[in-house]
Amino acid sequence: GCFVMNRVAGLLARDVMEAQKHPLKFDVLAKCSVSRARTSLMHLPHATVETPVFMPVGTQGTIKGVTPSQMEAMDCRILLGNTYHLGMSPGPELLDKAGGLHKFMSWKRALLTDSGGFQMVSLLKLTEITEQGVKFASPYDGRLLLLTPEESIRIQNSIGADIMMQLDDVVSSTTTGPRVEEAMHRTLRWLDRCIAANQRPTEQNLFPIVQGGLDADLRKQCAEEIIKRDCGGYAIGGLSGGEEKSEFWRMVRVSTSVLPDDKPRYLMGVGYPLDLVVCSALGCDMFDCVSPSRTARFGTLLVDSGELHLKKSMFQEDQQRIDDTCKCTTCAHYTRAQIHHMLKNREGVACSLATVHNLHYELNLMRRIRENIKSGTFPEFACKYVVGLYPDKQYPLWCVEALASVGIQLPS
């Protein structure tokens, strides 16, 4: 009898492990009855993240000019780190000693790391991509280095992020021809090498990436293949790199239509406010982008009507808050004129204040999206948001078409 009981207990434990194959649980809370938008809880080892979510980018493990405690105060639950930069400095050995990036940067919540491949292609002149991996010259000392799928995962295992990305063969989104298909197939082969290399599968999720350039059939084929690997979530890559917006939204839509409903979908490198609204409507759950923090440093601040370029002289006597409706600490304490003067005089703190506002704006935009999905008013919210950006109703054609493709008609 005892043997049978133990056997049953063993099988039950195995079932639980099978059911919880990944350290990620995805609970869809509400779906938009018109579009593909949905709001969910994504349970990760270090945090429960509400989606759709915008993930600020902390390249070196910090967001320039903002502390982890400031990010916590904005209720940010997940940050993105760049494997390429972190692998160079502080490097995996020091991260192992520190007990991972969470401890090294004193951030208790969730982290996602990219694979390092995109930086190679975007930052470095000397890149040769072979079946083995990506060859590049170190910008630190010029040595020739090779980033393989195995090495990318080794560094990401040291970083210890809740979600790691596979190393993919990145081609520019405007590339056409056989190279796009080659990259898609290589990305699948590298995915299997990444999965095999993951030393911490019960602690760290590994997301595959849908590639295929601007070719809908390649994207479909790639999405269908990666689903067979049954990972914790899936990413859509290779977009937001200079392609036409009319092609961009179609590739997003074709990718989300193949990816399963019960797993998170991460649209890489997308974060302009309008794109967040439209791509949430198309069924994406996760986004990241350097633009809100990068443009903040140049004095561009985000508001519902678009952007304020606070370096312009028209703001030098403007006593208004950046945004009357904003609850961020910058809007609570500073006027447009004050920020204008600080930016003009190159005060370091101005970058920090502007970055806090922009990140708060994006995180709050996602909160509004989630609340409207829950209350069944997302289509109305999306329309109101787009009209706020284009009061003359001269909407960009891509935006009209993208929303119409999921049943949302902008007012004429």
DSSP 93-139: HHHHHHTSHHHHTT--SEEEE--SHHHHHHH-S-EEE-SS-EEEE-T
Can you say whether the dihedral through the CA atoms of 371, 374, 378, 384 is positive or negative? Answer: negative
Please identify which of the residues 96, 114, 162, 169 carries the catalytic annotation: 114
- Determine the Cα–Cα distance for residues 152 and 82; give it in Å rounded to an integer: 11
* The amino acid at 105: M
Helix then strand then coil, in percent of the chain rounded to 5, is 45, 15, 40
CB distance 57 to 63 below 8 Å: yes
Please identify which of the residues 162, 168, 215, 288 carries the catalytic annotation: 288
Peptide bond into 149 cis (omega under 30): no
Beta bridge partners of 66: 63
- Determine the Cα–Cα distance for residues 180 and 193; give it in Å rounded to an integer: 20
Annotation says 288 is catalytic: yes
CA 230 and chain centroid, separation? 20
Beta bridge partners of 163: 112, 205
* 3-class secondary-structure state, position 239: coil
Instruction: Report, as residue numbers or ranges, the catalytic residues.
Output: 114, 288
